[in-house]
Amino acid sequence: MDKTIRAEEAAYDGFRQLAKEYELSNPELLAAMVQYFRVTKADPRHPTGPDLTTSLAKLTAKLADLDKRTIGFIREQEKTYLKPILAEVQAHKVLATPAASAPTGLSKAQEQELSNWFIRVLRRGLLPAQLTPLFLSGTLPPAPAKGQDDPALVAIKQALLQALRLAIRPELMDPAMNPNPAPAVPGAAPSTTPAPAGAPVPPPSQPA
């Protein structure tokens, strides 16, 4: 049911002008105005009072202040808790990681000692006929003085010597390096035939 609202001419002209600006009919503009005042809680008797723009500005300011306080809280937590924890983790990581200057592998002196030792093993462990003339013509490196051997190389020397004992047939070795030949069978004539390649080989003693 339509209702009629009385208004002064100046107020009516202003109302019609607003309807034209917002492209609304008179009833649509009236309904919108009622809804506006209900939502914004603005007092139509005080046009200079708080409006929606002012309310939004205040809300924005409050959000900005809350944001600053939140950032301040996070930074305080970072300074008090997070940074000390990260520093401790980094310290443990540094202690667990070898220094960049730490040597890797064998030193030059160790390489030289190991090389000299292996040359002596081959020169004294194999028959000369099994070695090349060039190798035999080289100077035999002297053995280190007693107690001068690098203890860090003991395990490597033992592993290499064991490999040689397993790989080289006894007839190719110097008799001094194979002092314990297999005992002869009683009643059997001494054999001059070299042991087959797959026969067990008694380990030679370690050369100096």
pLDDT tens figures, 42-91? 778 876 655 667 777 888 888 988 888 888 888 888 888 788 888 888 88
Label residues 79-96 b or e (16+ Cβ within 10 Å = b).
eeeeeeeeeeeeeeeeee
The neighbour count for residue 195, using CB atoms within 10 Å, is 14
The CA angle 191-204-127, to the nearest 5 degrees, is 70
For residue 182, pLDDT beyond 50: no
Query: What local confidence, expressed as pLDDT, does residue 14 receive?
Result: 92
- Residue ranges of the domains in the chain? 9-40, 51-96, 108-176
Where are the extended beta strands (E) located within the chain? Answer: none
Residue 207 has pLDDT above 60, yes or no: no
- Of residues 135 and 190, which shows the higher confidence score? 135
Residue 34 confidence (pLDDT): 92
CA distance 45 to 32: 17
